[in-house]
Amino acid sequence: MDLQLTNKVIIVTGGAKGIGEGIVKVLAKEGAIPVIVGRSEVDNIKVALAVEAAGGQASHVVAELTDPAACQKAVVDIIKQFGRIDGLVNNAGVNDGVGLENGTYEKFMASLHKNVVHYYLMAHHALPELKKSKGAILNITSKTADTGQGNTSAYAAANGGRNALTREWAVELLKYGIRVNAIVVAECWTPLYENWIKTLPDPEAKLKEIEAKIPLGNRMTTAEEIANMAAFLLSERSSHTTGQLIHVDGGYVHLDRALANA
């Protein structure tokens, strides 16, 4: 299926690692021009060069997304370079373990800036160009907003906010023909996930325990599987889909756990 993404300029925050990197690479394969926005110039360039080596196009902008001024500058720089924005993927964030018992006001607010405030800012600053292109916004969110996790109040709150903003923006932007959707991630194998599981006493046993609870295939979701859905939702092939929270999780959140070992 031709997703009709050729030469579409699509911002991907946190596009140098994990799910973001997967989205960048799939978009490039579909002919789009993903623009990586992240704090590490080295990481950004590495992914952009990998895309170009594979025959695609990619660009990047260095920005610390917890800084509101940097969010605005990133969008301005992209407009200067390309003259347009056709899509925005809000993806950057981290499950930073700021809980109710162990957290503080300062840590809680800092986590919100890491995980949801820049979602708003990037969309706000990109909006004038998205109106012109009738582009799409995609928010990457986490199952923690649906299920809870424990000891991660700020991250769960941020993801609840991401989900609510998806529906709110879908309503507000109907009149411009801008579609807004979200992909809800559960257990996806990324470098951050791998780093976390290595901190546990028996990483291999814990991974097997987690995989056993994922009904479809008893395995982790891959970044490419998230990216494939992302490309579809950003494309005109999903032209009548907006305000949706789509779980790409092998049935982890909604299917009966008894099915996992069936």
Residues known to be catalytic: 155
Spatial distance between the Cα atoms of 206 and 212, rounded to a whole number of angstroms:
10
Q: Is the CB of residue 118 less than 8 Å from the CB of residue 139?
A: no
Distance of alpha carbon 188 from the chain centroid: 12
The whole-angstrom separation of Cα 226 and Cα 217 is 16
Backbone torsion region of residue 31, taken as left when φ is above 0, otherwise alpha when ψ lies between -120 and 50, otherwise beta: left
- List of residues 6+ apart from 232 with CB closer than 8 A: 3, 238
Q: Which two tokens stand for residue 93?
A: 């964030």
